[in-house]
Amino acid sequence: MEIKTSKRLKGIGEYYFSQKLREIEELNKAGKDIINLGIGSPDLAPHPDVIKVLQDEAAKPNVHAYQSYKGSPVLRNAMSEWYKKRYNVDLNADTEILPLIGSKEGIMHICMTYLDKGDEVLVPNPGYPTYTSAVKLASGICREYKLREKNNYEPDFDKLVNEGLKNVKLMFVNYPQMPTGQLPSGELFEKLVRFGRKHNILIIHDNPYSFILNDSPLSLLSMDGAKECVIELNSLSKSHNMAGWRVGILCGAKERIDEVLRFKSNMDSGMFLPVQLAAARALSLGIDWHDEVNLVYRQRREKVFELLDLLECIYSKKQAGMFVWAAIPGKYKNGFELTDEVLHKAGVFITPGGIFGSAGDKYVRVSLCSKEEKFEEAITRIKKLKSEN
């Protein structure tokens, strides 16, 4: 009996980290004790008050039913207040906010809501691989736009216009940018809004990293006229150490929220209420919470700089987010060659930049989501590798 997969899966491979984790698991089974510095899954715990709310609410007998497709009013109000307090953006909690079971799912919801076969989407290179796979799964066509270090990893708008925008319906942007850590300027955000409005392109801003090692969090929705052409995704995964809780946010004009809800309501039945109430508590935490988390990341980042110096990589110290992006030395063909050498000869896994697109081929990315002693051990192993070469 032969069952064929759908044509939409053509060209869609298994997610890189899903494959790599299996390889690392096999190496560990063989006694290699791999230090994983590749994946951006926060190892720090959420605030104790957040966990307590989850525990207390989950113990109640009346919280286990299906929930509203639009999320609890408690969570939507908390999200609205958080956007006002942290970004100075006014959002109507009833009509302009849609809680998501993770912002990754939101990327797929958006693509399925707006794309027909042949519609084009501008996707950053380097950028989050899920943008590309979601567009393809929704029968859209990816139009990559390269982000270059010499241009501060900003889109070349003139080039995009010259190449033609007739069939372009959506544009994915992501600042602070992943994987490069580039911070946005107000001028860039103004350009994005003008670009979207002028060319009738819906700009999707993916904004999960704005509170990690960044003193000036910025929302694209804070720009004048942004709600006409922008929807923004946000998440508690990175900012509140709640990656496994799967709590995301979609913000935008009422029309956009209603449109996405038409698709989303057919895909899930809402989020567990105690998780929503705990997420609301997380969003009420003061800025001191982020300061404490960032102090840990700042100390870890110094260790990553030391590790990258040993590997003779070049990097900026002004990056935001929970990774460090670095150019590889010229003796390596690409980042895959360097990371494979470090993995198999030193037992340390770092991410090759090429998984984020061809513009990342000459780079690597190191995650800050490990304890300092792990970075110390990785440095020791790489020093030993360098002395043996």
Note the pLDDT tens digit of each residue in 32-90: 888 888 887 888 999 999 999 999 999 999 999 888 889 999 999 999 999 999 999 99
Q: For 116, what's the count of Cα atoms within 13 Å in the CB-facing half-sphere? A: 1
159: confidence class by pLDDT, cuts 50, 70, 90:
very high
How high is the pLDDT of residue 157?
A: 96
How high is the pLDDT of residue 101?
A: 93
Residue 124 · residue 173 · CB < 8 Å: yes
User: What's the maximum distance between 2 C-alpha atoms anywhere in the chain?
Assistant: 64
How high is the pLDDT of residue 385?
A: 84
| Selected residue with higher pLDDT from 385 and 173 | 173
> How distant is the alpha carbon of residue 344 from its chain centre?
28
387: confidence class by pLDDT, cuts 50, 70, 90:
confident
Mean pLDDT of 325-349: 92
Whether 14 has a pLDDT exceeding 70, the answer reads no
Amino acid in position 341: E
**pTM for this entry:** 0.93
Question: Domain-by-domain residue ranges, the chain?
Answer: 7-45+288-388, 48-286
Decide which of 3.40.640.10, 1.10.10.1100, 3.40.50.620, 3.40.50.300 is the CATH code for 48-286: 3.40.640.10
5: confidence class by pLDDT, cuts 50, 70, 90:
confident
How high is the pLDDT of residue 17?
A: 67
Q: What pairs with residue 203 in β-bridges?
A: 171, 230
Residues recorded for the chain: 389
28: confidence class by pLDDT, cuts 50, 70, 90:
confident
3-state secondary structure (DSSP) of residue 168:
strand
9: confidence class by pLDDT, cuts 50, 70, 90:
confident
Distance separating alpha carbons of residues 356 and 125, to the nearest angstrom:
7
Distance separating alpha carbons of residues 133 and 139, to the nearest angstrom:
10
How high is the pLDDT of residue 15?
A: 66
224: its two tokens: 């004048």
Of 13-17, 64-68, 191-195, 317-321, the poorest mean pLDDT is in 13-17
Percent of the chain with pLDDT over 70: 98
- pLDDT, averaged across the chain: 92
Mean pLDDT of 137-157: 94
Residue 84 · residue 312 · CB < 8 Å: no
Distance separating alpha carbons of residues 91 and 97, to the nearest angstrom:
7
How high is the pLDDT of residue 262?
A: 94
How high is the pLDDT of residue 280?
A: 97
How high is the pLDDT of residue 40?
A: 79
How high is the pLDDT of residue 13?
A: 67
Q: What is the DSSP letter of 355?
A: G
Which residues, in sequence order, are CB contacts of 344 under 8 Å at separation 6+? none
Q: In the CATH scheme, what is the homologous superfamily, with its name and number, of domain 7-45+288-388?
A: Aspartate Aminotransferase, domain 1 (3.90.1150.10)
pLDDT in tens, 108-133: 999 999 999 999 999 999 999 999 99
How high is the pLDDT of residue 128?
A: 92
